[in-house]
Chain A
Amino acid sequence: MSRVLIPQVLRPDVGGVKAVDVDGTTIGEVVASLLERHPALGGRLLSPDGGLHRFVNVYLNGADVRYLGGLETHVDERDEVRLLPAIAGG
Chain B
Amino acid sequence: MKSSSDLLRQVRAAVAEVSPQEADALRAGGAVLVDVREQVEWDAGYIPGAVHVPRSYLEQNIESHVPDRAASVVLYCASGVRSAYGAATLAQLGYTNVSSMAGGIDAWRRLGLAVVTPTALSAAQQQRYSRHLLIPEVGTAGQARLLESRVLIVGAGGLGSPAALYLAAAGVGTLGIVDFDIVEASNLQRQVLHTTGRIGEKKVESARQTIGALNPDVKVVAHDEMLVADNVERIIDGYEVILDGTDTFETRYLLNDASVAAGIPVVHASVFRFEGQLTTFLPYDGPCYRCLYPTPPPPELAPGCSVAGVLGVVPGIMGLLQANEVLKLVLGIGEPLIGRLLLFDALEGSFSELRLERDPACPACGDAARAARERGETPNLPIYSTAAPFTMERIS
**B-contacting residues of A (Cβ < 8 Å)?**
7-9, 28, 31-32, 35, 44, 46-57, 59, 62-64, 66-67, 70-71, 82, 84-90
Min Cβ gap B6→A in Å is 65
Residue with the greatest number of chain B CB neighbours at <10 A, chosen from A35, A64, A85: A64
B215 on interface, CB distance cutoff 8 Å: no
Q: In the assembled complex, which residues on chain B have CB atoms less than 8 Å from the CB atom of A84?
A: 277, 343, 354
Min Cβ gap A16→B in Å is 12
Q: Which residue of A lies closest to B270 (CB)?
A: A87
Q: Is the CB of A86 within 8 A of B393?
A: no
Q: In the assembled complex, which residues on chain B have CB atoms less than 8 Å from the CB atom of A32?
A: 395-396
Q: Is the CB of B272 within 8 A of A9?
A: yes
- CB-CB under 8 A for A51 and B395, given A8-B272, A64-B356, A89-B247: yes
Of B272, B304, B308, B390, which contacts A53 at CB under 8 A? B390
- CB-CB under 8 A for A86 and B296, given A32-B395, A66-B392, A67-B357: yes
Q: Is the CB of A89 within 8 A of B304?
A: yes
For the complex of A and B, list the 6 residue pairs with the smallest distance between their C-beta atoms, beginning with the closest: A51-B391, A90-B247, A54-B390, A87-B272, A89-B271, A55-B297
Q: Is the CB of B355 within 8 A of A89?
A: no
B176 on interface, CB distance cutoff 8 Å: no
Min Cβ gap B345→A in Å is 8
Q: Contact mask B304-341 → A, CB, 8 Å, 1/0?
A: 11001010000100000000000000000000000000
Number of A-B residue pairs at CB separation under 8 A: 143
B292 on interface, CB distance cutoff 8 Å: yes
Min Cβ gap A81→B in Å is 12
Q: How many residues of B contact A (CB 8 A)?
A: 50
Q: Is the CB of B249 within 8 A of A86?
A: yes
- CB-CB under 8 A for A55 and B392, given A64-B354, A85-B301, A90-B159: no
Q: Which residue of A lies closest to B345 (CB)?
A: A8
Q: Contact mask B264-304 → A, CB, 8 Å, 1/0?
A: 00000111111101000000000000001111110101111
Q: Is the CB of B272 within 8 A of A54?
A: no
B158 on interface, CB distance cutoff 8 Å: yes
Q: Is the CB of B394 within 8 A of A86?
A: no
Q: How far is the CA of A19 from the CA of B112 in the complex (A)?
A: 67
Q: How far is the CA of A64 from the CA of B20 in the complex (A)?
A: 53
Q: In the assembled complex, which residues on chain A have CB atoms less than 8 Å from the CB atom of B269?
A: 90
Q: In the assembled complex, which residues on chain B have CB atoms less than 8 Å from the CB atom of A52?
A: 391-393, 395
Q: In the assembled complex, which residues on chain B have CB atoms less than 8 Å from the CB atom of A49?
A: 391, 394
Q: How far is the CA of A49 from the CA of B273 in the complex (A)?
A: 30
